[in-house]
């Protein structure tokens, strides 16, 4: 027989040790949960984050601003005219949009292509009760995040009107966010940033473990976000049938 004596009032009562929550990666197949695979995934997640950290920060700030500019009635960045010139040219030297764009690029050392070009055809108009011929007018615009240069010319005249408008830092950041007035290299960089966001989203889900919570809770959180997004869009989505 064993001598079992009950604990006295002064002795602390022993409690069973708490079970530790099991580890393991909920969204990675068991056969891929190897040290090498997990280490590679963690490193790629971390290096991808540091690669796009500055862009992610700026995109977050400008995205927050763009979300609330309508309700808060915030100005979309200030622009101000800094120069307006009338340049003398040979009459009839510039007759098309391409010729005007090439002249502007050569005259002012602009390397990028025109962001906009339009032609207003000539027409018969009435001026002070007398018929008159309005000349054809061509206009080209060069745009960057920091400034815009607009050039207009009436075909047959000897004057080219040039206007430069500078943008504020906020306006420049917003245009960069919307990829407006940038070159192909910057577009490529922004494509890599979009890819980095996609990869970090996927790798973040894959690295979710039981230490953070059960799989059902993770799926529930994502489902709530998706459902809330659809409910929010249902009130503003425009449907039209002809």
Judge contact between 41 and 203, C-beta under 8 A. Answer: yes
Report pLDDT digits (tens) over 144-165: 888 889 999 999 889 999 999 9
Once rounded to an integer, what is the mean pLDDT over residues 213-235? Answer: 79
**Which pair of tokens denotes residue 201?**
């989203």
Give the tens place of pLDDT for each residue, 5-49. 555 556 556 665 555 555 578 778 888 888 888 899 999 999 999
Q: What is the pTM of this model?
A: 0.65
For the chain, the structural domain boundaries read 30-74+176-214, 79-167
Q: Which of 72-76, 94-98, 149-153, 177-181 has the least mean pLDDT? A: 72-76
Q: What is the CA radius of gyration of the chain?
A: 32
DSSP class per residue in 119-172: EE--EEEEETTEEEEEPPEEEEEEE-SSEEEEEEEETTSSEEEEEEEEE-HHHH
Per cent of the chain over pLDDT 70 is: 81
Residue 226 has which token pair?
């998706």
Is residue 92 a contact partner of residue 138, using CB atoms and an 8 Å limit?
no
């Amino acid at each position: 027989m064993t001598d079992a004596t009950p604990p006295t009032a002064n002795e602390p009562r022993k409690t069973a040790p708490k079970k530790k929550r099991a580890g393991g990666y909920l969204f990675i197949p068991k056969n891929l949960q190897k040290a090498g695979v997990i280490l590679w995934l963690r490193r790629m997640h971390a290096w991808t984050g540091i690669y796009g950290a500055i862009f992610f920060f700026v995109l977050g700030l400008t995205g927050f601003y763009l979300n609330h500019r309508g309700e808060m009635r915030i100005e979309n960045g200030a622009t101000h005219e800094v120069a307006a010139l009338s340049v003398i040219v040979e009459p009839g030297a510039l007759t098309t949009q391409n010729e005007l764009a090439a002249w502007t690029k050569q005259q002012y050392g602009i390397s990028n292509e025109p962001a906009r070009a339009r032609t207003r055809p000539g027409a018969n108009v009435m001026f002070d009760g007398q018929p008159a011929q309005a000349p054809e007018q061509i206009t080209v615009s060069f745009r960057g995040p920091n400034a815009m240069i607009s050039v207009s010319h009436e075909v047959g005249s000897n004057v080219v009107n040039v206007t430069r408008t500078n943008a504020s830092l906020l306006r420049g950041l917003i245009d960069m966010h919307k990829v407006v007035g940038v070159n192909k290299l910057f577009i490529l960089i922004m494509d890599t940033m979009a890819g980095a966001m996609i990869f970090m989203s996927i790798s973040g889900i894959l690295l979710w473990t039981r230490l953070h919570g059960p799989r059902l809770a993770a799926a529930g959180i994502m489902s709530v976000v998706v459902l809330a997004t659809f409910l929010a869009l249902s009130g503003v989505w425009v449907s039209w049938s002809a």
